Amino acid sequence: MEKDDILAAYKKVGGRIETKAKVKLTTKEDFALFYTPGVGKVSMHLAEHPEEVKEYSVKKNSVAVISDGSAVLGLGNIGPYGALPVMEGKALIFKELGNVDAWPIVLSTQDPDEIVRTITAIAPSFGGINLEDFKAPECFEIERRLIEALDIPVMHDDQHGTAIIVLAGLINAAKVVGKNVKELKVVIVGAGAAGAATAKLLHAYGVNDIIVTDRTGLISKGRTDLTGVKQQLLDLTNPRNIEGQLEDALNGADAVIGLSGAGRMNGEHIKMMAPNAIVFAMANPTPEIMPDEAKAAGAAVIGTGRSDFPNQINNALVFPGVFRGALDSGVRKITQDMKLAAALAIAALVPEPTAERIVPDILETSVVEAVARAIR
């Protein structure tokens, strides 16, 4: 669809989600029960028994989808209003796929302290916090501090949702090309939120030969400019200590996972890889390399984040189930073991993967239940 048609479709509905009453409010008796005086009894009960709040309120099933607009899709720092359509779209998917009541919240601040304070302040209303499109490296600290501060599950989906679906896709892509997933030489393009978390989760699963690249080049021991998470990645990745640029890492690689931005790769890159290359080009909305170009260059299995190509390796397959499971079971922290279990559960939904089908379709209702079960 062209841009004008897309804008017209959005303008027609105004917002893609709305609120809806779950109780009847048509008689005075309804008002007396579900508003005043009835609500006073519930308020007093929860004042005395705050631990029961989820049983009597929206906190039971609600998630805030929060962004500061600092790293929206592959579009960059486009601020809260640029971020709002994405958060609203995630809230829509939360409801339609996971029956989670999510509300989009975009912030007028990009200061980590302010962000942590703000989310801590509004947390009592929600059963979970889905952080979205916060830029690295601030996103790591923001998520860590919120997980420590809050008694509800907090997940930065760009990190963990992405890592989970990439691992699921990679397990099945390796099957398609007849290679052992743990022995794959994997190159991750991008050391932002998604790249770092994906490297960590693949490593936790047992993939040993991972090389991560950032704009400067390969993350390798010779670099003197690495701090924070990139420094941590040195311990988990690049065991052969390859130095240089993307091309140096791609030489003979089995899989490349693009988690960076539009057009960062071309056919020449793919041709450097080992035979039967696996190419995940996940930048949204425009991939690192378009699928037809990757295919022409010899890639055997190709995935993107988009709905209009085969193999949609999108965290929309993950986040509804993660929060569905966490809300249902009262899970407070999403652990690395849960993430591994979720990835395996998604991969298992496609027992006989093919080049055009390594992950389940986003429309398959079994996905949410499988992920939720893994979290529980």
Looking at residues 198 to 257 of the shown chain, list those that interact with a second copy (rule: CB under 8 A). Answer: none
Task: Write the DSSP string, 187-253.
Answer: EEE--SHHHHHHHHHHHHHT--EEEEE-SSSB--TT-S---HHHHHHHHHS-TT---S-HHHHHTT-
Judged by CB under 8 A, the chain residues 49 through 88 that form the site for a second copy are 50, 53, 55-62, 72-75, 78-88
User: Is position 160 an interface residue for a second copy (rule: CB under 8 A)?
Assistant: no
Q: Which residue in the set 156, 306, 324, 339 belongs to the binding site for a second copy (CB under 8 A)? A: 306
DSSP state of 11: H
Provide the phi-psi class of 256: left if phi over 0, else alpha when psi is between -120 and 50, else beta. Answer: beta
Block residue for tokens 């984040």: 305
Tell how far CA 44 is from the center of its chain: 39
Sign of CA dihedral 339, 173, 90, 105: positive
Distance of closest approach, residue 193 Cβ to a second copy, in angstroms: 17
Q: Is 89 in the site for a second copy (CB under 8 A)?
A: yes
Q: What is the DSSP letter of 330?
A: T
Per-residue x/- mask for a second copy, residues 90 to 109, rule CB under 8 A?
xxxxxxx----xxxxxxxxx
The single residue among 225, 235, 308, 352 that binds a second copy, judged by CB under 8 A, is: 308
Q: How far is the CB of 313 from a second copy (least distance, A)?
A: 12
The yes-or-no answer on residue 35 being catalytic is: yes
Enumerate residues 332-371 that contact a second copy by CB under 8 A.
Answer: 361-363
Candidates 40, 244, 252, 330; binder of a second copy (CB under 8 A) is 40
Q: Is 151 in the site for a second copy (CB under 8 A)?
A: no
Token couple for 104: 């989009």
Of 22, 56, 90, 135, the catalytic one is 90
Please select the residue that binds a second copy; options are 71, 98, 121, 294, rule is CB under 8 A.
121
**Is 10 tagged catalytic?**
no
Kindly report the number of other CB atoms within 10 A of residue 8's CB atom: 11
User: Measured from the CB of residue 94, what is the shortest distance to a second copy in angstroms?
Assistant: 8
Pick the closer one to a second copy by CB: 102 or 359: 102
Q: Are strands 128-131 and 154-156 parallel, antiparallel or unpaired?
A: parallel
- How many residues form the binding site for a second copy (CB under 8 A)? 104
Contact 83, 109 (CB under 8 A): no
> Does residue 19 belong to the site contacting a second copy (CB under 8 A)?
yes
Token duo for residue 151 = 């008694």
Q: Do 136 and 71 meet the contact criterion of CB atoms below 8 Å apart?
A: yes
274 binds a second copy (CB under 8 A): no
Query: Binding pattern to a second copy, positions 279-298, x when CB under 8 A?
Result: -----xxx------------
Minimum distance, C-beta of residue 329 to a second copy, in the bound complex (Å): 15
Tell me how far, at minimum, the Cβ of 353 lies from a second copy, in Å: 19
Residue 133, exposed/middle/buried by CB under 10 A (0-12, 13-18, 19+)?
Answer: buried
Residue 114 or 247 having the CB closest to a second copy? 114
Query: Among residues 10 and 234, whose Cβ is nearest to a second copy?
Result: 10
Give dist(CA 153, CA 360) in Å, integer: 25
In a 13 Å sphere around the CA of 246, the CA atoms on its Cβ side amount to 20
Tell me: does residue 17 bind a second copy (CB under 8 A): yes
Nearest distance from C-beta of residue 136 to a second copy, angstroms: 19
CB nearer to a second copy: give 228 or 285: 285
Strand order in the sheet with 185-189: 209-213, 185-189, 255-258, 278-281, 301-304
Catalytic residues: 35, 90
